[in-house]
Structure 1
């Protein structure tokens, strides 16, 4: 394969990942925005909502998280081998899987709501939220099949459109639902005393948005699929290869999904175990009210903020799996594979490193800006962000390396690594809580340990499979770090200067963020961390190059 073809393929890989990344970042921002009024409405009830959502996320991951990645990988492999007839059969088999497994998962969540609420978490307020979330699990399995199908075809646009539509509806309905049901619960609390009904009903109202968004996303996916059917049939008509049986495809699908699901579920189990272990510790050593307050700061603020930048790495990972699978299936040069891996790592670090520095620099102002309605837990949340901002870097690296390992055929390796990391995480958490009494700070420390284990294990797993592969330190890590440190310095000065002049945290924070973006972009180019060819790999890369040249940066 010529160098021109190789560059075009690598560029398309980043462009598709960039499209999904932009959509994912927009989705995270919408999620961040709507959680602000939800925090203000629910107050400590946000801990109830977050706990219910974490249980839903685990059930959803077990039932359907592996579907998009497995389907995209299987579709990409068959396209790489020009077996177009079997592409649609993979999709139909995934739909059959969704009908059965999604239905079972929904049943577990609905009928097990009381068990999760009263036995596992000792938080009876979450019961109603879990029951509302149950049908959403079923719907999400179908969405995963559609999204994986199109990712395997090499386009991230249907996934991006459906994600944005889903989140917009989710945002509106979550705010409306939590407001209406919280007020209804508050009336009951005034009659009966306590805060049970406002917390329970308010959290349940918030989950109505999740269900509504999933319905809209599924409808969008169906419309796009129906409109593209003629083109798909035309591709299949040119294929003379043998049809694969449904049973064979189902077997491959399940075997491909299992390690992916186990890996992702391990991440989510980590969060649920944190909640359960921390909740039992707080009930025994501190108090239930303090537990809700600390968990609201951790899950409702710290976790929410630090996970926004991870959208870029998640999107690149989703793009990496089918792209690497397709390249390997077509028996391309190993340099093409390594080129894609280097690009994925570089572009994810270009976002993760400045995000880490920026969160550390502006933790307190950002918390005061976003969560002005619940100021009591803002100082704690800001401290947690400064402690745990390194997890943005660690989880970005582990997410992208998970995708790389799955793309090169080592589907089960990330799951094995995650299990090892989980054991280390739990041990550190137990020591931090029961021996050192670090409270919620111990949860953040154990998060860092989990990310560290995953990074080390994933990197050595890649090196084991590709002995010629080495991390490119200078342009992937060192120069972006230097640029981010410069950015961080300018950001602090910009915030302090603006705040001195206008005495407004909101204006000063927005101004400082704008300065940070501009300074980081200039620093990347001036330190040669970003060359003209790199800029062209971004979506609208030619426009970015023109802007840089007009500004005399290139």
Structure 2
């Protein structure tokens, strides 16, 4: 039975990982044609409100369902599992009702604080997604706790396809008939509601025979157990949601700060909107860059938790060291490579290379956020929450405090620096506390070897850009810029990988633990 259960878990985890990968790629890629259709001003209107949807998405997909699944998995009997879901449901419902009330009834005020009252209909439209959150969370959390990953996987895939279909369809049709960017944005936000309803229909098909949210049973039971669930909901659930939506929270801060500060700095209202829209081009690039980090977190967390529960400290330390070292190497390579190739990527995807400096700096987010997710995963695997809470709070406070000042003096470059400072503060707290427990194989020799590998990749890409820059700029062709970006990625990635293997940065055991590591070693031979 144990072996069958483990095989079922591995199949489900693989399915969920693959679909999550597809969803994240789709969620990032659709913004390129959307921006091409609605322009930078239209992209600005959409991205100003997107963080609100991002928070709802986190609550109903990657945050609260993970927390609830953990509670369900801790129970032995079916009735206890259903009882847990029914006790958590009112908490999620209450939180969702508050979020709906703030965004719907306060939509006009929020739009005014963002410096653009015309955004109110977009905010009110996306607010309805919060009404679906309690049901999506309860079903997904229960199924994942029962090791049934298919309902979550299929529901999130359908949700994303429906949402993206509505967004791109609205952009294509409504721009042709002359609707304003705000009308197009409102219809695009309706895609979130359509997608959520589609996901709920899929989840409802898998509902348990006894009913998950039975009539008259949605209530908080009294006593010590309920108070314990409430505390865990606030701490564990809050931390999981907080880290899952950390970048979305930072984007929300930018929605209130950047456009307003640009206007105060002397830009016209239209110039500020367009500049913010250009700055928002960096979000899908960061999202793509973080896909591998999220996949590594998903892959290593069950193993780390298992070793910790079984008190296999040697195996835990070895796996944690491999996890951190691989994350640092991949994240640093992706960040540095994107920084250097950003002008080509910007021109090929979005039609010009404006705001290249601020977007290049923003690519550093990939490195910092990847490490934050990695260290938070280590704390989560040990059920150690205090450092993660301190890091999350400090990071958000730093972002909120420094964004207005830096953006006022440096424009979008200041906004990027504020994001890096906020993430850096969060990461500092996590690293400091993590290294008190173990060094995780992060020594001076590892750092020096990595710096040499990165340095050689930088030299390669700088020489490459020096050789093709004048030719690409003279032709001003988006396909040629795309070719330049792809060749640069292949060249820089190949050099970086060859140096990693040659310098023996990873041990043989670590290479074998990395996905496709064995094949990469064969290529070297």
TM-score range, shorter chain: 0.7 to 0.9
- Name the SS of the counterpart of 2:30 in structure 1: helix
| Cross-structure match for 1:179 | 172
Residue deviations 1:78-123 (CA, integer Å, cap 9, x gap): 27xx6776445434544554445434433432222222123x2121
RCO higher in 1 or 2 (8 Å CA, sep ≥ 6)?
1
| Cross-structure match for 1:407 | 381
Is the CA contact (8 Å cut-off) linking 1:345 and 1:400 kept in structure 2? yes
User: Which of 347, 350, 361 is the matching residue for 1:387?
Assistant: 361
| Cross-structure match for 2:273 | 292
Change (3 A) 1:156 1:535: farther
Q: TM-score, normalised by structure 1?
A: 0.77
User: Which of 317, 323, 347 is the matching residue for 1:344?
Assistant: 323
Report how many residues are paired.
501
Change (3 A) 1:94 1:180: farther
Q: How does 1:108-507 map to 2 (within 5 A)?
A: 108-118=102-112, 120-149=113-142, 152=145, 159-184=152-177, 186=178, 198-223=180-205, 249=229, 252-261=232-241, 268-286=248-266, 287-299=268-280, 301-318=281-298, 324-328=304-308, 330-372=309-351, 375=352, 378-380=353-355, 382-434=356-408, 437-464=409-436, 466=437, 468-473=438-443, 477-491=447-461, 504-507=480-483
Change (3 A) 1:324 1:254: farther
Cα drift, residue 291 of structure 1: 1.5
Is the CA contact (8 Å cut-off) linking 2:325 and 2:441 kept in structure 1? no
Say whether residues 1:28 and 2:24 are aligned partners: yes
Change (3 A) 1:63 1:21: closer
Change (3 A) 1:172 1:63: closer
- Could you tell me how far apart the structure 2 residues matched to 1:126 and 1:152 are? 39
Change (3 A) 1:208 1:496: farther
Is the CA contact (8 Å cut-off) linking 2:59 and 2:137 kept in structure 1? no
Cα drift, residue 143 of structure 1: 3.4
Change (3 A) 1:167 1:527: farther
- Name the SS of the counterpart of 2:276 in structure 1: helix
Is the CA contact (8 Å cut-off) linking 2:328 and 2:371 kept in structure 1? yes
| Cross-structure match for 1:74 | 71
Task: Give unpaired runs (5+ residues) of structure 1.
Answer: 188-197, 231-243
Residue deviations 1:432-460 (CA, integer Å, cap 9, x gap): 244xx211111111111112111111112
Change (3 A) 1:356 1:317: same
Is the CA contact (8 Å cut-off) linking 2:293 and 2:327 kept in structure 1? yes
Change (3 A) 1:97 1:430: closer
- Could you tell me how far apart the structure 2 residues matched to 1:414 and 1:383 are? 31
Q: TM-score, normalised by structure 2?
A: 0.81
- Could you tell me how far apart the structure 1 residues matched to 2:429 and 2:84 are? 32
Is the CA contact (8 Å cut-off) linking 1:178 and 1:201 kept in structure 2? no
